[in-house]
């Protein structure tokens, strides 16, 4: 206890300074992407590296968003990703909330089996389902469609969503529901008027998780989409790279920077 306030302070200041330095280093790859995307082409490969793009140019953004005839347009891919991610969030929230409610609150034959199957399925690696999922999607005629991306992405998250929401529903007090039931409300009214409004924080957390997962998935859209106008962002970006190869990093980095933007 002799160290006194100043000693403690000094070491914690040193730690904060070290962490700040590490944080700057940690963000530098992202900063480099943004800086590159704003530089005119000749400045991009100039050494030593220049970290301030002056004067900045919007040319690369213009090219990937509107101009390029070489690849799927990043602007279009952005819209595709938005549609797919939003659609799968809605599907996941609806199906997993509806499934989690009876699993948390009702007694019925098969309940424990259903729950065990869902939790067990969390151990299934997505890559293992790739081929049969492709065959199925082809048979449904869903390749290169929004539903061919939304439904499988939602199915990947569904079991996790049920697990998360069931845990949350089980901690909610039963009194409000019981009162509503006595007043003559049916199970659907209890679910939609009481359970769902009281679960907004956990539903929001699940929505963010599902959005990120669908927005960033790469492997499934890589095989399930073969029309350039239907590519979501990660696939369009990967192809942007081969379209420009090493000739110019500017448009590639503009695409990469744009893909980082979201909600």
Partner 1 sequence: MSRQARVAYAFLAPGLLLFAVYRFYPLLEGLRLSFTNARLGRSAEQWIGLANYTRLLEDERFHVSLWNTAFYTVASTLPILAVPLALALALNRGRLRTLLRSVFFFPFTLSVVTVGLAWLWLLDPVVGPFNYYLRRLGVPARSWLADPQTAMWTIILTTVWWVTGYYLVIYLAGLQDIPRDLYEAAALDGASGWRSFWAITLPLLRPVLLFVVVTHVIGSFQLFGQVFVLTGGGPGDATRTVVQHLYEAAFQNFFQFGAASAMAWVLFAVILAFSVLQFRLLRGHTEY
Interface with partner 1 in residues 51-90 (CB under 8 A): none
207 vs 235 by CB, closer to partner 1: 235
- Please say whether the beta carbons of 214 and 196 come within 8 A: no
168 vs 215 by CB, closer to partner 1: 215
CA–CA distance, 196 with 99 (Å, rounded to integer) = 13
CA angle (54, 55, 58) in 5-degree steps: 115
Smallest separation, CB 237 to partner 1 (Å): 5
- Say whether residue 154 binds partner 1 (CB under 8 A): yes
Q: Of residues 121-140, which lie at the interface with partner 1 (CB under 8 A)? A: 121, 123-136
- Please say whether the beta carbons of 220 and 149 come within 8 A: yes
- Say whether residue 260 binds partner 1 (CB under 8 A): yes
Q: Which stretch binds partner 1 (CB under 8 A): 61-69, 156-164, 172-180, 197-205?
A: 156-164
Size of the site for partner 1 (CB under 8 A): 80
- Please say whether the beta carbons of 157 and 88 come within 8 A: yes
Which two structure tokens, joined as six digits, stand for 231? 């590519």
- Say whether residue 47 binds partner 1 (CB under 8 A): yes
Q: Of residues 191-250, which lie at the interface with partner 1 (CB under 8 A)? A: 191, 212, 215-216, 218-219, 222-223, 233-235, 237-238, 241, 249
> For the chain, what is the total number of helices (H) and then of strands (E)?
14, 0
């Amino acid at each position: 206890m002799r160290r006194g306030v100043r000693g403690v302070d000094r070491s914690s200041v040193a730690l904060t300074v070290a962490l700040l330095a590490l944080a700057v280093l940690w963000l530098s790859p992202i900063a480099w992407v943004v800086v590159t995307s704003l530089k005119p082409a000749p400045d991009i490969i100039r050494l030593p590296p220049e970290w301030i793009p002056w004067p900045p140019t919007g040319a690369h953004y213009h090219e990937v968003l509107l101009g390029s005839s070489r690849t799927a347009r990043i602007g279009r891919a952005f819209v595709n990703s938005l549609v797919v991610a939003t659609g799968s969030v809605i599907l996941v929230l609806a199906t997993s909330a509806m499934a989690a409610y009876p699993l948390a609150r009702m007694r019925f034959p098969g309940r424990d089996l259903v729950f065990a199957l869902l939790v067990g399925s969390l151990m299934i690696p997505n890559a293992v389902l790739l081929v049969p999922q492709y065959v199925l999607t082809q048979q449904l005629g869903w390749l290169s469609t929004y539903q061919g991306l939304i439904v499988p992405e939602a199915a990947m998250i569904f079991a996790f969503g049920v697990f998360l929401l069931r845990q949350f529903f089980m901690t909610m007090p039963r009194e409000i529901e019981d009162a509503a039931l006595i007043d003559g409300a049916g199970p659907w009214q209890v679910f939609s008027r009481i359970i769902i409004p009281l679960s907004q924080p956990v539903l929001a957390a699940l929505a963010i998780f599902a959005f990120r997962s669908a927005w960033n998935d790469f492997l499934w859209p890589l095989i399930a989409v073969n029309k350039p106008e239907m590519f979501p962002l990660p696939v369009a970006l990967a192809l942007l790279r081969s379209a420009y190869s090493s000739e110019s990093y500017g448009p590639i980095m503009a695409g990469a920077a744009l893909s980082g933007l979201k909600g």
